[in-house]
C-alpha cells in the first residue's frame, strides 16, 4: 500500500507541477490525486495524469477530483511540454488574489488576514508571518533557528525560546476554531504545519 508517509514527502519540498502515472505500485494515479486533493489539501499543486489506455469513463472523474490535465500515451515530447505550459499558465492566470489555502484555512496575503471557513481571525504581524512561512512549506519540519532567520530576520537578535512562545500564542489563536493541531511539535527538531495528525 502507498503509505501516507511517502505521500507527505511529495509535499515536503515545493513543486511547480506533479505528473502522475495512471498505474502506480499499490495505488492508482486517480486515487493518489484524490488523497492529495482532499486529505492533504494540496489544492494549489497542478497535477497532470498520464495513462497508457483510453478509459473515457475515468476522464470525467479524474477532472472532477481536481486533476488539471489528462494525457493518453503515447504522446510526443512537444505535446507534453505544451500541456505543461498550458496548465501552469492557467494556474498563474487564476492566481491574481495572492493567498495560501490548505483545507478550510485561507491565508489572504493581500488583506493580511486568516479565514477559517466563513470566519475571520485577525493575527498580529508576527503571528501572520510565522503562519505564512509554515503554510508555504506544509509537512516540512523547521528548526527554531530556521524560523528565527526566516520570520524575524538574520539582523535581529532574538532568543530561541521566543519561537516557542510565539508558536504557543499562534496555537492558542487557532484553538479558538479547533485548529491548534495543525502546528505540530517534532521532538528534538522543531515545528511543522500539517493536516496529517498521526502517521504509523
Which pLDDT belongs to residue 61?
Answer: 58
Please indicate, yes or no, if residue 9 is contained in any of the structural domains: yes
Report the CATH number that the domain containing residue 109 is assigned in CATH.
Answer: 1.10.10.10
Same structural domain, 103 and 189: yes
In angstroms, the CA 37 to CA 193 distance is 17
- Tell me what pLDDT residue 198 has: 39
Q: What is the pLDDT of residue 2?
A: 44
Ranges 13-27, 53-67, 87-101, 168-182, most confident:
168-182
> Has residue 166 been placed in a domain?
yes
Residue 45 resides in a domain: yes
The 10s digit of each residue's pLDDT in 31-83 is 888 777 665 555 567 788 888 765 554 555 565 566 777 788 888 888 888 88
pLDDT for position 23: 81
How many Cβ atoms from other residues are within 10 Å of residue 88's Cβ?
14
Average pLDDT over residues 156-175: 87
- Please check whether residues 103 and 25 belong to one and the same domain: no
Secondary structure (3-state) at 100:
strand
In a domain, 26, yes or no: yes
Residue 10 lies in a domain: yes
Domain count, the chain: 2
Domain of residue 60, CATH code: 3.40.50.2300
Beta strands (DSSP E) in 79-193 are 99-102, 105-108, 113-116, 119-121, 142-143, 183-186, 190-193
Q: How many CB atoms lie within 10 A of CB 184?
A: 18
144: pLDDT confidence band, cut at 50, 70 and 90?
very high
Tell whether 88 and 109 lie within a shared domain: no
* 3-state class percentages of the chain: helix first, strand second, coil last, to nearest 5: 40, 20, 40
Same domain flag for 103 and 87: no
Query: Would you say residue 199 lies in a domain?
Result: no
Do residues 187 and 103 both lie within one domain? yes
Between 171 and 55, whose confidence is greater?
171
| Domain extent for 116 | 99-193
Amino acid at each position: 500500500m502507498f503509505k501516507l508517509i511517502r505521500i507527505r514527502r511529495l509535499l515536503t519540498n515545493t513543486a511547480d507541477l506533479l505528473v502522475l502515472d495512471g498505474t502506480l505500485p499499490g495505488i492508482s494515479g486517480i486515487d493518489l490525486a484524490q488523497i492529495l486533493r482532499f486529505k492533504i489539501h494540496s489544492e494549489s499543486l497542478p497535477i497532470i495524469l498520464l495513462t497508457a489506455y483510453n478509459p473515457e469513463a475515468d476522464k470525467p472523474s479524474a477532472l472532477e477530483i481536481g486533476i488539471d490535465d489528462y494525457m493518453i500515451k503515447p504522446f510526443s515530447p512537444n505535446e507534453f511540454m505544451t500541456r505543461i505550459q498550458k496548465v501552469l499558465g492557467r494556474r498563474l492566470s487564476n492566481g491574481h488574489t495572492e493567498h495560501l489555502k490548505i483545507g478550510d484555512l485561507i491565508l489572504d496575503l493581500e488583506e493580511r488576514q486568516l479565514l477559517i471557513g466563513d470566519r475571520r481571525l485577525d493575527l498580529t504581524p508576527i503571528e501572520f508571518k510565522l503562519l505564512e512561512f509554515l503554510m508555504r512549506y506544509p509537512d516540512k519540519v523547521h528548526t527554531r533557528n530556521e524560523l528565527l532567520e526566516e520570520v524575524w530576520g538574520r539582523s535581529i537578535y532574538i532568543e530561541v525560546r521566543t519561537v516557542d512562545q510565539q508558536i504557543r500564542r499562534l496555537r492558542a489563536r487557532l484553538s479558538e476554531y479547533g485548529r491548534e493541531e495543525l502546528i505540530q511539535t517534532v521532538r528534538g527538531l522543531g515545528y511543522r504545519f500539517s493536516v496529517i495528525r498521526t502517521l504509523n
